[in-house]
Structure formats: C-alpha cells, structure tokens
Amino acid sequence: MRSRIVVLLAFLAVLWSVLIGRAAYLQLIPDARLQGLQKRQFDTVVTLNARRGDVLDRNGHELAVSMTTYSVFADPKIIEDIGKVRRILWRSLNMNPKVIDSLLRTKKKRFVWVQRHVERNVKELIEHDMKEAKLRGIGFVEESKRVYPNEKLLAQTLGFVGENEGGLEGLELKYNQELQAGKKKISLKKDARGRPLLIGGQMFEQAPDGADIQLTIDRELQFVLEQELAATVQKHEADSAVGIILDAQTSEILAMGSSPTFDPNRASDFAPDRKRNRTVTDSFEPGSTMKTFIIAGALQRKVLEPNTIFDCNGGQMKIGKRTIHEATAKEKFHDLTATQILAYSSNVGAAKIAFKLGEDRVADILHDFGFGERSGVDLPGEVRGIVQARPWSDILLANVGFGHGVATTPLQVANAYAAIANGGVLKKPYIVKSIRDAETGEIVDTKPAAIRQVMSPEAAAKMRLMLANVTTGDGTGVAARVPGYPVGGKTGTAQKVNPNGRGYIKGGYIASFAGFLPVNDPRFVIYIAVDHPRKDYYGASVAAPVFARVAKFAVRRAGLAPVLITADDVTKSADLARNDVDPVDDSVPQVTPSKAAKFLASIAPKSLSPRILGVTKREAPAKHELSLDDATPAGVAAGVELAAVRAPTLDAAAAVPNLEGLTLREVLSRVNGTGVEVRVHGEGIVSKTVPAPGASFASSKELNVYLTH
C-alpha cells in the first residue's frame, strides 16, 4: 500500500511538473498561432475613415467641411429582446422594421452597421431608451460626415463623396488621397463570452486628419457668376449656361460654374448630367470668339497689321459649291481693316485671313494657344477638344477661321484670352492655391507656370487694343461695356452641332462672349457661353450683358479705380498720331485714325501708334465709322461711360452728379470749397449716393456717399 502511494505521488508530481512547464512555456515563449486565436476571441476590428480635410476658398471661407456624426452598430449575438430593440431603433431612426429585424437576427456576426452618420440628438435618444429598458447590444462609433455649407455653390467643381467618405467627382475625387489621409482601424475589445467591452456604449479613436486644401476660388465672385448664369438660363429659356473667371496675369481660376447645377449634400437626388463640370468636360464649336486667335496669330507672324484692309465681297464668299455668309443678310461689308473684321465679326474677313495664313500656320496657331490639347488644370475629366488632322479642305479652313470645324472647352477659350491679356504667355490654369498638412502644418503652395510664349508683348498689346474696338461704337460687343473700365473682348454665335447625327441643330446656337478688363492693365478674364437660348441667340445680346454684370462686380470687389479719360487725353493722342507714328510696312495701306483710335492710344503703351490701329477705312459706309461725337469731347469709347470719362464736379447750387465708381479720395477732391457736407458709409468705391444723381441737394447741402468693395 505504501509503495502505491509513493508511485501515485510521484505520478502526480510529474504531471504537475509537466503542466507547470507547459504553462510557463505558453506564458513565456511567443506562439503566433495562439496569439491569433486570442485576438480572434477577444478582439474585432472595424475600419473607419479618418476626418476628411476641409476645402476653403482663397479668403479662408469654408466650401467643404467634415462634421462629427455617430454611426449606430449592433452585436446581434448579445441582444436578448429583439422586439424591444427593434421598436427603439424604428422610433429613433425611422428605418423599415423589416430591415432592422433582418440585421438584428444575424446571429453569426458580432458587428453589423445599423445606420451611418446620425446626429447627436438621435444617438442620445437611443442611449436613453436602451438604458431605460435595460437592454444591451447597440453601440456607437464617432465618425465624420462631409458637408457642403454653401449647398449648390461650386458644386460641379467640388464634386461629392460616397457613403464611405471617398471622393466620387470633382476635386473630392482628384485630391481624395490628400483629403482622406487614409483609413483608421478601431479594435473593439470583447470579454471571454464575446460581448463588446464598451464605455457608455460608444467607441472613440484618434486618427490623423486629412489635409486642408485652399482654392484660388473667390466665394463671392463664384456666387455672383452662378446667380447670373441661372438667371440667363431662365430669361432666355436656354438648355444651360457656363462661365469662368480667371486672373488675367496668373490664370488662377477665380470662379467657374454652370447652370443648372446640383446640391452635393444630396448628390444622389440629381441626374448625372447636372454633376458634370462643363467648363472642362464639354467641348463645342466656339464660333466668332475664335477669330481673335486667328488674327492674333497672323499679327504675330506679321501676315497683317491692325489696319490691313481686306475685301469682304459684300458679305459673302463662294468656296466650291458652298457660300459663306455674314451673320445677317444686312451686313454687306466690303473693305474692312483687320481691326474692323474683329469689331463687326465678319465671317468672310476671318475666312480670308485664314486663307492668307494657310492651313499649316492656322493649325500651328491653334496649337500655340492651347487648342486640341489638355491645359493641365488640376481638375478631373478635362477633354482635349477637337482640332481635325490635316490636310484640310478649303471649306474647313474657312470655317476654322470663324470658329467652326473645331471644338474647344470653355477653359481653353478663357485661358487663351488670358495669354493675350497678360502680354503673350500661355499659362497653366490652376484651382488649388495651397495644401496644408494637418499633422505637420506644412503648406505647399502652387505657383503660376508658363506653358509657352505665343505672342510678343508688343503684338499682344496691339491685339488688346483691337479687341477694345469690339466694345466701342457699333462693334458687336457694346453690351459688354463696364462703366469706368475699358473692356476688350469678342462675341460668338455658333451653330450647335447635332449630337445625334451630322450637321447642326436647326435653330440651335451657342451664344458666347470672351473678354478681359481693364484693357490698359488686365486683371480679369471672363468667358460666358449660353447653350441653345430660345429667346434671342446672339452672343452680343445674350452673353455680353452677363459678362458686363459679372465684370462690374469683379472690378468693384477688387477695389479697382475707374480709368478716367478726359478731353485732354484725346487731344494728346491726336498729337501723338501726328508726331510719333511708328513705321509700318509700305505694302500696308495707310489710314487716318478716328477719335476712337486716339482714345485707345491714350491708354496704350507709348510705343504703339494710334495710326496702326486701323479703326477707320477708306470710303467706309458711314454707319460703320468708329468715331466720337465732336459735341462730346470726351465721348464714350471702349466701355468708358461719359459719367466716368469726365470728372464730375460738385456744386451745391446744381444737381447731384453721378459719382458711381469713384474712390472716396476722388469724391472729396471735388467737394473742397463747394459747401457740400459729405457723410461716408462703408469702404471701397462709390456704389450709390443720397440724394441720387440728378436730384437737388437737400437744404442742409448734405451728400451721403455709400461705398462698397
């Protein structure tokens, strides 16, 4: 018996030694397999998105932000009373009870999403009801949700995100990696029975935020542009309208948009067509806005001068079996200078210039100004446009001369005008001003970048003055003028290509205007295009007025002082014409400048002679003569209204003059010694006065001046 006890004790001792050794081995020696089993039993991992970075305008205003929300999840395995939990969730989340029931009965899963991105008050209501009913199995994860506080503003450019906060369109897609920063993984701890270990039913986790992106966009300019586009679509019963504003010197995108648009907060409620950023994704025949570049290229290659005369054949030109006509039958032009071809938008004149250049040089000009290739803008979906491969037929060459037979995007046209405005350099347009890393605070700025020199500074200066004539006298762009600020630009009225077959849509047109201001020192390039307007369709009457209203706001917001031209300027320019005439090619017919040309010379570089502008022509019909009324010495030219041309003076015994557009200093300089007391309201330039212009001063001889930026 005693020996048996000894053997049993020895056996137990050995057994305990083995167990202790095994336990020590398991505790002290790592085992990947066992660690995996432990992790699977006690941990579950949920993948969430980090907080998405903000998108701001150039002045720091929020365009896209991320707000804190709470996502509801369930652990079906530990829910004891599905009926009660279903009623709580149905009352708080307004979900279909059948959907809730199917989620809660998924016993094989320990984690299922119930609803993403609910507000704090909803979360608190669920927590309260669950606590009151002494139920468990429902928890919350703190997440961020993308919000667009300005709703439809800049929607097509910003784009939108999906359910998991990933960018789907626009800048949200283009810069998704920078904005999203990556995903975060949350480890959800469980006890030995697999129950989630939550604190107050909620999980929190810190993760790096995405980068903040600051755009070149000006929110106020963007708002005005979109309002004008929407009003124009409604007024003219158009299919759509598109607009873009560039910084003339850098090609920064200050505003861009189209109408109709959509609300990215509810992106799924809108058709895909509304979400397209038409400024870069759509191309169409630009029409007469293209004449600018054909003439600019010819000017750069010394094929013509501004006053070179072309016979426009009485308004029609036969090419093979086809005949080119002017826009209207009443336009029976004969001899026109290159400047007048622009001003009157002669199709025949532009076709003749294209023939004089030849297809190779015309194709080179289109390439130089960026047509037929992507601009490289930092936006997704940009198309190249269409420039047909050579050889070209004669009719195609003629059509290209006045903007048909090629397809361009709105951004391409605007950026090409910026090349003329800035002195001849085609620059890369861009919309992201800087990117700020949320963790390090490091800021990466975008710098203006030149693509190529397309014109000499002198040729570009000549071209700017020629384009100013389009908004002078009886030029087609008179409706684009802005009081106090000379405008240069070009109208366009193009037939709309039939997307479902060959040829054009009967009665379908795209009305446009492209231009810049002020001509003497361009700050803004603005392009407006209206697709298929049904009430009027000419660019001069549909798009040019939109340009004027948007441009007026832009120069006021920038605080630009009006360009004041007096009668003395016209006299001085006449002296310049007589005594400082640049030599020109003897083969170019010499013409006498009109007073409009003298005016333009007064704001031009001194190296340019008013004589070469070619505003007048020999034996031109009286109705096409660009001149200033001799009875009005200062006149109205290049978008400068009479009220801004002549400096208004204040006289307490007379009516209140029009002071709109003047600076406070200019107003006060006219008050000194008149006995009028001026009360100033606001900052910037004069937007209105009380009493209004034309009214009598009050008995107190007081004038209230209201200033705005």
**Model confidence over 73-132: pLDDT tens digits?**
988 888 888 888 888 898 888 888 888 888 888 777 778 888 888 888 999 999 898 988
The residue with greater pLDDT, 701 or 593, is 701
Q: Which two tokens stand for residue 86?
A: 């279903």
Which pLDDT score is estimated for 383?
A: 96
Query: How far is the C-alpha of 379 from the C-alpha of 159, rounded, in Å?
Result: 10
Least confident of 275-284, 372-381, 610-619: 610-619
According to CATH, the topology of domain 219-265+278-557 is Beta-lactamase (3.40.710)
DSSP sequence for 305-332: -TT-EEE-GGGEEEETTEEEE-SSTT--
Least confident interval from 63-77, 543-557, 655-669: 655-669
Q: Give the confidence band of 489 by pLDDT, cuts at 50, 70, 90.
A: very high
Grade residue 622 by pLDDT with cuts at 50, 70 and 90.
very low
pLDDT at residue 381 tops 90: yes
Helix, strand, coil fractions of the chain, as percent rounded to 5: 35, 25, 40
Three-class DSSP category at 667 = helix
Parallel/antiparallel/unpaired status of strands 202-203 and 138-147: parallel
Q: Are 493 and 525 in contact (CB under 8 A)?
A: no
| Range name among 18-27, 149-158, 238-247, 475-484 with the lowest pLDDT average | 18-27
Residue 275: what pLDDT?
A: 94
Per residue in 211-246, pLDDT (tens digit) is 999 999 999 999 999 999 999 999 999 999 999 999
In this prediction, residue 604 carries a pLDDT of: 45
Q: What is the rounded CA–CA span in Å between residue 241 and residue 235?
A: 11
β-partners of residue 47 are 185
pTM of this structure: 0.73
Distance CA 635, CA 628 (A): 6
Mean per-residue pLDDT over the chain, rounded: 82
pLDDT confidence of residue 184: 53
DSSP string, 160-206: -B-TTS-B-SHHHHHTHHHHH--EEEEEEEB-TT--B--BTTEE---
Quick one: what percent of the chain has pLDDT higher than 90? 51
User: Does residue 608 register a pLDDT over 50?
Assistant: no
Lowest mean pLDDT among 40-44, 101-105, 303-307, 630-634: 630-634
Give the pLDDT score at 650: 62
pLDDT band, very low/low/confident/very high, at 708 (cuts 50, 70, 90): confident
- The stretch 307-320 carries a mean pLDDT of 93
pLDDT of residue 593: 35
pLDDT at 280 over 90: yes
For the ranges 271-285, 318-332, 475-489, 595-609, the lowest mean pLDDT is seen at 595-609
Q: How far is 615 from 514, CA to CA, in rounded Å?
A: 21
b/e map of 326-356 (b: 16 or more CB within 10 Å)?
Answer: bbeeebebbbbbbbbbbbbbbbbbbbbbbbb
Bridge partners, residue 145, by sequence: 67
CATH of 45-215 given 3.40.50.970, 3.80.30.20, 3.40.50.150, 3.90.1310.10: 3.90.1310.10
Check residue 659 and give its pLDDT: 82
pLDDT above 60: residue 181:
yes
Give 191's pLDDT tier (boundaries 50, 70, 90).
low
pLDDT at residue 614, rounded to an integer: 43
Q: What is the CATH number of domain 647-708?
A: 3.30.10.20
Q: Please, which pLDDT band fits residue 490 given cuts at 50, 70 and 90?
A: very high
| pLDDT of 595 over the 60 cut | no
Give residue 583's pLDDT band: very low, low, confident or very high (50, 70, 90). Answer: very low
Binning pLDDT at 50, 70 and 90, where does residue 417 land?
very high
One-letter amino acid for residue 201 of the chain: G
**Average pLDDT estimate for 181-206:** 51
pLDDT score of 350 more than 50: yes
Q: What is the mean pLDDT of residues 287-310?
A: 96
